[in-house]
């Protein structure tokens, strides 16, 4: 496994074998099974696998959140070596955003709701860095987790709108045994908060059951999810949404496909989760 910091080193390595297919797994490090399942899928579907590890400052709208983001490069590299990754890019902020940097990629409407409303500028940072990653690696396929449902929708929109020559592959959300979606942020939960953090999964599961039993009123389904979350004393809802999976417009009725999603602070740690219905 080759690990490089400089863009030119990545390009040279990537183009040494121009006829082989490349899969890229973009990450911000502190890897867990969610990331590794994407790496495993990329390994199975491509001749070569690249991974980027970069805590991207432009997608954080809160300096404390950026500073406190968990990091462990040594362990990440050990895990990636075991998975048989070929090439890892670990750039510095100055490499991705050199002093004269002033070009951003912005997807419009669908970034203004949900995570975008709660975290202004977040998706502009994501789409900008993902564009850079795609330009540096020029991967045939790039792998993202369904846990960040809106990120996936936004990146797919960007790829289609700007004709990036990269297929976007989505991996299922990986969960702990009690249903909590795996996330690098879970490490910040106190033992009690960790127990209560299952309220997101419970809320989604109960909404799914209600849907399967015939409930189609999105207002009632949202209310149901809010009621479940309210039983966790450490939980504070940021948003609970039932939206169209492409436009992200909030729905009155779940007629066709719908994205059920939520962001909840559990003892101050912001967690997200979602499911697509049916």
Applying CB under 6 A, the span of 21-29, 173-181, 216-224, 254-262 interacting with ligand PAF comes to: 21-29
Considering beta carbons, is residue 76 or 148 the nearer one to ligand PAF? 148
The CA distance from 36 to 75, in Å, is 13
Q: Given candidates 37, 46, 59, 183, which one binds ligand PAF under the rule CB under 6 A? A: 59
Cβ 179 vs Cβ 198: under 8 Å: yes
Cβ 119 vs Cβ 263: under 8 Å: no
The contact pattern for ligand PAF, residues 95-124, with x = CB under 6 A and - = no contact, is ------------------------------
CB of 27 to ligand PAF, least distance (A): 5
55 CB neighbour count, 10 Å cutoff: 17
Please pick, among 32, 35, 201, 202, the residue that the annotation labels catalytic: 35
CB of 254 to ligand PAF, least distance (A): 27
Q: Given candidates 23, 26, 139, 245, which one binds ligand PAF under the rule CB under 6 A? A: 26
The CA distance from 2 to 196, in Å, is 41
Considering beta carbons, is residue 51 or 240 the nearer one to ligand PAF? 51
Interface positions, 161-190, toward ligand PAF (CB under 6 A): none
Considering beta carbons, is residue 56 or 196 the nearer one to ligand PAF? 56
C-alpha atoms less than 13 angstroms from C-alpha of 201 in its C-beta half-sphere: 16
Cβ 157 vs Cβ 110: under 8 Å: yes
Q: Given candidates 129, 189, 193, 243, which one binds ligand PAF under the rule CB under 6 A? A: 129
149 CB neighbour count, 10 Å cutoff: 26
Q: Given candidates 10, 28, 221, 235, which one binds ligand PAF under the rule CB under 6 A? A: 28
Q: Which of 263, 268, 276, 265 is nearest to 115 (CA)?
A: 263
Does residue 27 bind ligand PAF (CB under 6 A)?
Answer: yes
Considering beta carbons, is residue 54 or 211 the nearer one to ligand PAF? 54
Q: How far is CA 163 from the centre of its chain?
A: 21
The CA distance from 240 to 113, in Å, is 12
Considering beta carbons, is residue 59 or 241 the nearer one to ligand PAF? 59
| Cβ-proximal residues to 121 (8 Å cutoff; 6+ apart), any chain | 58, 59, 61
Q: Which of 82, 189, 91 is nearest to 136 (CA)?
A: 91
For the record, the structure tokens of 173 come out as: 């959300």
Q: Given candidates 38, 42, 126, 158, which one binds ligand PAF under the rule CB under 6 A? A: 126
Interface positions, 131-150, toward ligand PAF (CB under 6 A): 148
Q: Is there a catalytic annotation at residue 35? A: yes
Bridge-partner residues for 23, per DSSP?
A: 49, 141
Number of residues that bind ligand PAF (CB under 6 A): 10
Residue 30: strand, helix, or coil: coil
Applying CB under 6 A, the span of 24-32, 156-164, 200-208, 263-271 interacting with ligand PAF comes to: 24-32
Considering beta carbons, is residue 46 or 196 the nearer one to ligand PAF? 46
- DSSP H or E segment with residue 142: strand 141-145
In the complex, which residues of this chain contact ligand PAF (CB under 6 A)?
26-28, 56, 59, 126, 129-130, 148, 151
Residues with catalytic roles: 35
């Amino acid at each position: 496994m080759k690990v490089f910091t400089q863009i030119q080193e990545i390009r040279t390595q990537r183009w040494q074998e121009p006829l082989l297919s490349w899969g890229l797994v973009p990450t911000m490090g502190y890897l867990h099974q969610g990331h590794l399942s994407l790496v495993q899928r990329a390994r199975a579907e491509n001749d070569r696998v690249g991974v980027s590890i970069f805590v991207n400052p432009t997608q954080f709208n809160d300096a404390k959140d950026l500073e406190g983001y968990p990091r462990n490069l040594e362990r990440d590299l050990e895990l990636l070596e075991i998975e048989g990754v070929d090439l890892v890019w670990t750039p510095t902020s100055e490499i991705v955003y050199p002093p004269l940097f002033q070009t951003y990629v912005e997807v419009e409407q669908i970034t203004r709701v949900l995570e975008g409303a709660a975290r202004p500028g977040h998706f502009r940072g994501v789409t900008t860095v993902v564009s850079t990653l795609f330009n540096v690696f020029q991967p045939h396929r790039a792998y993202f987790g369904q846990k960040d449902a809106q990120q996936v929708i936004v990146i797919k929109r960007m790829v289609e709108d700007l004709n990036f020559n990269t297929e976007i592959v989505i991996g299922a959300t990986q969960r702990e045994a009690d249903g909590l979606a795996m996330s690098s942020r879970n490490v910040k939960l106190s033992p009690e908060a960790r127990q209560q953090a299952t309220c997101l999964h419970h809320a989604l599961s109960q909404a799914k059951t209600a849907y399967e039993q015939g409930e189609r009123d999105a207002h009632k389904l949202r209310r149901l999810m809010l009621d479940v979350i309210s039983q966790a004393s450490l939980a504070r809802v940021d948003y609970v949404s039932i939206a169209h999976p492409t436009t992200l417009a909030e729905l009155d009725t779940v007629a066709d496909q719908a994205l059920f999603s939520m962001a909840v602070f559990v003892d101050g740690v912001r967690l997200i989760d979602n499911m697509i219905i049916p």
